[in-house]
Structure 1
């Protein structure tokens, strides 16, 4: 498993030349989310998987939303970044369904305040599972967060249920550039072991 995690890196240089079919990518993403853990087995993670023009549509929505708030003098850099995401083969939109979260809050009132936090844990694990599965298949990706700016237009465009809360966006595609060396902070800063 650790060898697969080592493959998971942020890739901004994306292309449309997937090493496997869109059908296989779709199945891989679904299975990675299906196998991801969730509190009380709530299975609250949801995804909308966009390919081709549908993915381009999402990045157009993001561009329009950002153009409304980023100063014109600074927008060229933002636009270039968004075009990089759109140059990939697709995008996964990650959501958490609030209905199972609310049901758990009602059924387990002692833990009610924790279920929204645990839902965020679930989406994080689903995102890592998808990203790692994509990387293992030779597909590049990165994790982006353009919500809540895009939420209303995304909901309207893809008929998203009202209970689904957008949590992240993952553009993916072929790796069009090598990865730089990954650096790590000192273990002494991050870890403590007691025996």
Structure 2
């Protein structure tokens, strides 16, 4: 069964060789991210996902913070050089999206609906995953590569200070994006029998 959606989803891969050879303007990418996140589902329509889209020196600052933070943690020079080289591939991109969760809304829902209180944190993570997947795929539709990184919580405080983010916005992931300078490698899949079950 042919599906344009699945064709586009298949283009969404983890791209690590990024460049800044993008013809789409920052404003257009920002609008794409906004529209995609707004159309992503969330439990109780809680809309807990927050996205900060950074370009130029502000995007570089994210990876400067990551590098400085890890330099204080990774003491072995050889190991840190590998880390530094990896971070440089993210910095080489066109921009970075910070994905965050507004914990204020999560806590409000926990108080408003105590019978479901234990679920709202999980549900906010599900909303976040859906939004990340959607944005990643939307970028892929325009042949923009991306990957999803997780340097939180190590960088949380510095990121909040650098970009003056609300305290209730909890950093959950960082998505560097840019032109695809080298394709992703082959992707392995588990056997269907291990993943799916058809019941008629």
TM tier, shorter chain?
over 0.9
- Aligned residue for 1:193, secondary structure, equals coil
TM-score by length of 2: 0.95
Which residue of 1 is the match for residue 19 of structure 2?
15
- Aligned residue for 2:198, secondary structure, equals coil
Q: C-alpha distance in 2, partners of 1:194/1:47?
A: 39
Q: C-alpha distance in 2, partners of 1:72/1:183?
A: 33
Which residue of 2 is the match for residue 167 of structure 1?
172
The answer for unaligned runs of 5 or more in structure 2 is none
Q: C-alpha distance in 2, partners of 1:179/1:172?
A: 14
Which residue of 1 is the match for residue 34 of structure 2?
30
How large is the Cα RMSD of the aligned pairs?
0.9
Cα displacement (A) at 1:181:
2.5
- After TM superposition, what 4+ stretches of structure 1 lie above 6 angstroms from structure 2? none
- Aligned residue for 1:167, secondary structure, equals strand
Aligned length: 195
The answer for unaligned runs of 5 or more in structure 1 is none
Q: C-alpha distance in 1, partners of 2:45/2:144?
A: 29
TM-score by length of 1: 0.97
Equivalent of 2:76, from 48, 72, 77?
72
Does the alignment pair 1:112 with 2:117?
yes
Cα displacement (A) at 1:38:
0.4
